[in-house]
Structure 1
Amino acid sequence: MKRIRYHHGDLRATLMDACLRLIENEGLAAVSLRRVAREAGVSSGAPYHHFADRAALLSALSIDGFQQLATYMITARAASPDPLTALTELGDAYVRFSREHPAQFRLMFRPELSQPEKHPAANAAGDAAFNVLVDTVADGVAAGALPADRADTLAVAWWGLAHGLASLWLDGHLEKRSEQMGTHAPELVDTIMRMFTTLIPPDPSTA
């Protein structure tokens, strides 16, 4: 097998990329450190320089995924003119991330594989991504556009909506339903996220 060349210090990234390719092509069940090494074109012992076992590798991919997701959301929030628009844009960013990184997205929400209880950094990365949403909701509360007593509930509701749309799209259901409705999946996602923000009552204390 032709070995993939990588610069010194890039072995970890090379192995992570190889693992994602393996997941995309053959599924999570195909992942082992030996198979990842073969996919990367390195020796069978090379992965152990960076990952103690399969779960450690999958945890690293989960952490990287949540960090990328947070970046998508932070960028969307920064480009939005107000908190309610930001919530819509965050939803679009969440779904877009899932579309651009489907294998990684699925892995991020499979704790039995990455074993976050043994790798707490995975939980921390997930919390950091979620906190981008929490901070955006807090902006809405501060602006009087969202009720303070429902802030936590709204954050979870938004997450459930965005994650559900992302999962439906990855499974092929959203595109099918969009066609039946005479629209396209990206437009449907945007419409639903905007509809969500219009249904939220403002903070009554500011009325």
Structure 2
Amino acid sequence: MRRHIADCALRLFQEDGYDAVSMRRLASEAGCTVMTLYRYFDRKIDILRALWTEVFAELFDRLDRVAAGEADPTHRLLAVSQGYVDFWLERREHYFLVFMSSGVTQSDVSVFVGDDGVVSRFNVLRESLAGALDGRPGEAELKLKSELLLCALNGIAHNLITISAYPWSEPQALVRAAVTAVLTRPE
């Protein structure tokens, strides 16, 4: 039943937006009572967070496989970075669900981002970057460069998805430029 509710919620959130779907409507679509919904999920945001968890699990399982398939550290970083952007480009509906759901507050997101299980999955990017940098940066610089890379990759995906009428460079060229920039040390 939990899976069925989540599947119904995913469809409704994608069709009408998170903000427009009430628990009563979701119960009707799922063919159950509102009380049944609350037996499985305390609040609507908990359903959305469960869906986010599934999306990120799919993304990071994919990136872990990509990373395991690349022996060269720089190629690994490039492949993982490209895989990150490609995932969102191939699953635009997931991108909108995760990054553009209206009616979601910063505190709703903070609870999700504060989950160590979710945050630790992003380490595939950090570890790939650390390998490509070959231990050169200190912890503060590695943190900064990891965050910069994630911002660049999210920005690439965001712009290619939401401003599709603009004649952007190919995603591979944009990712390669972002990775090159992060690997470059200022003189």
Supply the distance in 2 between the matched residues of 1:87 and 1:157 (Cα, whole angstroms): 14
Correspondence 1:46-57 to 2 at 5 A: 46-57=36-47
Q: Quote the residue 1:61 is aligned against.
A: 51
Say whether the 8 Å CA contact 1:20–1:104 is kept in structure 2: no
Q: Which runs of 5+ in 1 are unaligned?
A: 1-10, 182-187
Q: Which amino acid aligns with 1:201?
A: T
Deviation at 1:93, TM superposition (A): 1.7
**1:61-86 CA distance string (max 9 Å, x none):** 22222222211221221222322222
Q: Which residue pairs with 1:190 in the alignment?
A: 172
* Residues 124, 34 of structure 1: alpha-carbon distance in 2 compared, 3 angstrom cutoff: farther
Cα RMSD of the aligned pairs, angstroms, is: 2.8
In structure 2, distance between residues paired with 1:101 and 1:175: 18
1:93 aligns with 2:71: no
Deviation at 1:96?
Answer: 2.4
- Does the aligned pair in 2 maintain the 1:61–1:104 contact within 8 Å? no
C-alpha displacement at 1:113, in angstroms?
7.2
Query: Is 1:23 aligned to 2:13, yes or no?
Result: yes
**In the TM superposition, what are the counterparts of 1:1-207 in structure 2 within 5 Å?**
11-109=1-99, 112=105, 115-117=108-110, 119=111, 123-142=115-134, 147-149=136-138, 150-171=141-162, 173-174=163-164, 176-178=166-168, 188-199=170-181, 200-201=183-184
Deviates most, 61-70 or 192-201: 192-201
Using the aligned pairs only, state the percent identity: 24
- Which one scores higher on RCO, CA 8 angstroms, separation ≥ 6? 2
Cα deviation per residue 1:106-153 (whole Å; 9 max; x = unaligned)? 343466178255x458632431232111111222233x6xx3233222
Greater Rg over alpha carbons, structure: 1
Given that 1:116 and 1:123 are in contact with CA atoms closer than 8 Å, whether structure 2 keeps it comes out as no
Q: TM-score, normalised by structure 2?
A: 0.80
